[in-house]
Amino acid sequence: MAKYWNKPMETAKLHEMRALQSWRLSQTVRRVYENVPFYRDKMDAAGVKPDDIRGTEDLYRLPFVSKQDLRDTYPYGMFAVPMEDVVRLHASSGTTGKQIVVGYTRSDLDVWSECCARALTAAGGSKSDFMHVSYGYGLFTGGLGMHDGAEKVGMTVIPVSVGNTNRQISIIKDFGSTVICCTPSYALFLAETMQEMGITKDDIKLRAGLFGAEPWTEEMRREIEDKLGLKAYDIYGLTEIIGPGVSFECDEQTGMHINEDHFIVETINPDTGEVLPEGEQGEIVFTCITKEAFPIIRYRTRDIGILSRKECSCGRTLVKMLKPRGRSDDMLIIRGVNVFPSQVESVLLSFGDNAPYYQLIVERVNNLDTLEIKVEMTSSMFSDAVRNIEEHEAAIRNAVESALGIAAKITLVEPKTLTRFEGKAVRVIDNRKLHD
C-alpha cells in the first residue's frame, strides 16, 4: 500500500519547499493585484506593489484578509477569474454569521482532490477501500471535497451524505464500508445508533475514519475508535481556503501536516498581528498559492493553533499544526474567564461513564454571567438512585470548577434528551447576546 500520495511534495526539503512557495506566492500576488480591486486597493493603501513580494520572506508585508472582508465583498467580489472559468461554488456553513461564497476552477478542483487524496492515503486508504462519505453534500465543502479525493485515489465511493442514521448503519454493514468520513460528533451518534440496532463493531468492516470540520478531543478519539472499531484520523480545513484537506494526520497523530505546496501557513498574535515564531501558540493564517478562482492572501482563520517542524516518523516534511482547541470566536468569556467548550468536553470525558453529550448554557442574571452545563446520563446512571445522581453532579461540578476556574451549575438530564447532530455540533447556547 502506498504510503504517500505525492512523495516529492510530501517529503520535500524545506529549502526546496520555500523556493516553490516563493515562486507561487509572487505569481499569485501579481494575479490578485491585477484582477481583484479589493487586493489592489488594500495593497496600494499599505504601500506594497507586486514587485515587492519576491518570496515567502516578504509575506509579512501583505495586508491580512478577515472574514468581514469576505462578507463585504459577498458574493463574488474576491474572485480572481471570469465567472466563465468557475465550475463550482461552495459556501461556508455560516456557523458564525452570514455565509460566504467561494468558487473553484477546474484546476482548483484538482488541487483540492489532490489534498484530500493525500489525507486519505495517509490514513491507509487505497483503491481496495470502500469509502463511506457521511459529510453533507451540497454547499458545505465536506461531502463533495472528500468524495472527489476518494475518487482520485480510486476508492469505491459510497456518497451517503447526512441523515437517516439507521440506513447509514445498514449501508456500512451491507456494502462493506472500510473507511468513513464525517464529523466526530456524528461518528459518536452512529456508534450509539449501531448499539441500539444490536450491531457490534465485529459485524462491520470499518478500519479507518477521517473526522473533522469541528474540534474534538483525544478522549473522543478513543471513544470513537473503541465503539466503531477503527483508527480515527483528524482532518482539517475551511471553506475560505479550499475545504477539507488543508491539513491531515498521519499515523503518528501528533498534529496535522499542512499541504504547504498549496497553502503557506503563519501563526500570528491575534491582538497585534505580529508574526510568531513556529512553536508558539497563535492565530493560524493561510495564504493560497495555487488557487485560481479564490486565491485568498493572509486569511485570518481565527483558529488558534501551534506549528511544529519536528521530524515526523512518517517521513513527511510538511509542517504540522497541533489540533486547534477551537476558534477564537468559539471561545466564551464567562465572568472574564476564557472558556472553550472543548475544555468542558475533556472534563466530562474523564468521568468515563458519561456519554459525551452536553450543552453549555450561558445567561446573564443581574449583570453576572452564569454557566449551566447539561450533561446527558448514560442508561446505567439513569437507573441509579437519585442520591447517586446528586453525588455525580457534585463530582462533575468540582472537576469543571478546577479545570475552568469558574463555577458552573451541572444538570444531569435523561438519556437521549439532548439534540443529536448530523453535521457540526452546536454545543453552546449563549443567551447573553439576546439582551445586548
Give 206 or 242: the residue with its C-beta nearer to ligand ADP.
242
Of 58-66, 92-100, 110-118, 193-201: span binding ligand ADP (CB under 6 A): 92-100
236 binds, among Zn ion, ligand ADP, none (CB under 5 to 8 A by kind): ligand ADP
Residue-wise DSSP of 111-157: HHHHHHHHHHHHTT--TT-EEEE-SPPSSSHHHHHHHHHHHHHT-EE
- Closer of 125 and 423 to ligand ADP (Cβ): 423
34/72 with CB nearer ligand ADP: 72
Within residues 309-328, the interface with ligand ADP by CB under 6 A covers: 323-324, 327
When the beta carbons of 76 and 175 are compared against ligand ADP, the nearer one is 76
3-state SS record for 392-423:
HHHHHHHHHHHHHCCCCEEEEECCCCCCCCCC
Helices (H), 269-368: 341-350
Among Zn ion, ligand ADP, none, residue 327 binds (CB under 5-8 Å by kind)? ligand ADP
Cross-strand bridge partners of residue 286: 265, 299
For the bound state, the minimum distance from the C-beta of residue 320 to ligand ADP, rounded and expressed in Å, comes to: 13
Q: Count of residues for the chain?
A: 436
Q: Is 256 helix (H, G, I), strand (E, B) or coil?
A: strand
- Rounded CA-CA distance 392/396 in Å is 6
Q: Is residue 403 within 8 Å of 345, Cβ to Cβ?
A: no
Q: Which stretch binds ligand ADP (CB under 6 A): 91-99, 223-231, 384-392, 402-410?
A: 91-99
Residue of 21, 26, 28, 92 interacting with ligand ADP (CB under 6 A): 92
Task: Mark 361-377 as b/e (b = at least 16 C-beta within 10 Å).
Answer: bbebeeeebbbebbbbb
21, 290, 301, 359: which one contacts ligand ADP (CB under 6 A)? Answer: 301
Q: Cell 484582477 maps to which residue?
A: 35
All three cell numbers of 297, joined, read 492572501
Phi and psi at residue 179, to the nearest 5°? -130, 145
- Closer to ligand ADP at the Cβ: 12 or 122? 122
What's the closest the beta carbon of residue 328 comes to ligand ADP, in angstroms? 9
Which residue, 76 or 382, has its beta carbon nearer to ligand ADP? 76
Residue ranges that bind Zn ion, judged by CB under 5 A = 250, 252, 312, 314, 316
- The answer to whether the CB of 160 falls within 8 A of the CB of 147 is no
From 10, 260, 303, 376, residue interacting with ligand ADP (rule: CB under 6 A): 303
Q: Cell numbers at residue 173, please?
A: 454493514
Cβ atoms < 10 Å from Cβ of 385:
8
Question: Could you tell me the smallest distance in angstroms from the CB atom of residue 237 to Zn ion?
Answer: 17
Q: Which of the stretches 93-101, 221-229, 260-268, 312-320 binds ligand ADP when contact is defined by CB under 6 A?
A: 93-101
Give 189 or 236: the residue with its C-beta nearer to ligand ADP: 236
Scan residues 256-275 and list those touching ligand ADP (CB under 6 A). none
Q: Return the residue matching grid coordinates 466530562.
A: 348
Instruction: Please say which residue, 210 or 348, places its beta carbon nearer to ligand ADP.
Output: 210
Residues 193-252 that bind ligand ADP (CB under 6 A): 212-215, 234-239
Of these partners, ligand ADP, Zn ion, none, which one is at the site of residue 260 (CB under 5 to 8 Å by kind)?
Answer: none
Partner from Zn ion, ligand ADP, none contacting 250, C-beta within 5 to 8 A by type? Zn ion
**8-state DSSP, 159:** -
The dihedrals phi and psi of 101, each to the nearest 5 degrees, come to -110, 135
> CB of 372 within 8 A of CB of 408?
yes
Binding site for ligand ADP (CB under 6 A): 92-95, 212-215, 234-239, 301, 303, 323-324, 327
